[in-house]
Amino acid sequence: MNKRYTDPIAMPRSMHYGNNYWIFQSRKLHRRVTAFSNLEYENLLCLEMDANVQYYCEQPCKVNVFIGGKEYKTIFDVWVAYTDGSEEFQEVKYFEELEADTEKGERDRRQVAVQKTWCLQNGFQYTVRTDREIELGEFYIRNLNLLAAKARRFHIPSKNADNVIMNYLSELRTTTIGYLVSSGRFEQNRTLDYLADLYYRGVITFLNLEKECLSNKTEVVFNGH
């Protein structure tokens, strides 16, 4: 597993005055994760629940960049390692703030330019993630929150049980949460716990997470082992 960065830089909360502060337990990292704004938290939540993400680290490193004979220092919001072996640095910004003709907008654009230059110089991919890429729909983050909370607390109890459930889902291919609840194949009142774990691992997909609140009508698609 690629773990280029494992320990985030200690960031005093006072450096982010006025922003919301989040701490949550990461199943993927086996430690507590810190975010300094709502949007940073939402981005980390997306990474946590993306089965294509193998590992990530928030506030991974501080770098120095020389541009036009002037030195700039910057800290990336997050570093991400994917299951296909690729990796990238990410910066999280609100789209309107980044595009705004304001002092903050100018400062944000300069920060992005500095980070992009460093990544280019050092051979890393770089992505700016805005609310347009993160907040995909009215219900998306709310649904991810629920699934992440359940996935953190639940693991399918045995390999045998895991295989039985996945074989059953592979026969159905597409079904609904309600059908699975009534199927009798899961422990009573634990169906969504099982499904959250399978979603976390990329075994299943829920359709329309962006547009609809999770319910018994939500369609479940089996992706495969």
- pLDDT at residue 17, as a whole number: 47
- pLDDT at residue 101, as a whole number: 93
Look up tokens 């890393």; give the residue.
Answer: 124
Establish how many alpha carbons lie within 13 A of residue 141's alpha carbon, considering only the half-sphere containing its beta carbon: 16
Nearest-angstrom CA–CA distance, 20 and 148? 20
- pLDDT at residue 87, as a whole number: 97
- pLDDT at residue 69, as a whole number: 83
- pLDDT at residue 35, as a whole number: 94
pTM for the whole structure: 0.92
Contact 138, 86 (CB under 8 A): no
No. of H helices and E strands in the chain?
8, 11
- Collapse the DSSP code of 57 into the 3-class scheme (helix H, G, I; strand E, B; otherwise coil) and give the result: strand
Q: Divide the 225 residues of the chain into consecutive groups of 10 and give the mean pLDDT of each group.
A: 89 60 93 94 97 97 89 95 97 95 94 96 97 95 97 88 90 93 90 95 96 96 84
Of 98, 97, 101, 81, whose CA–CA distance to 89 is shortest?
A: 81
- pLDDT at residue 209, as a whole number: 96
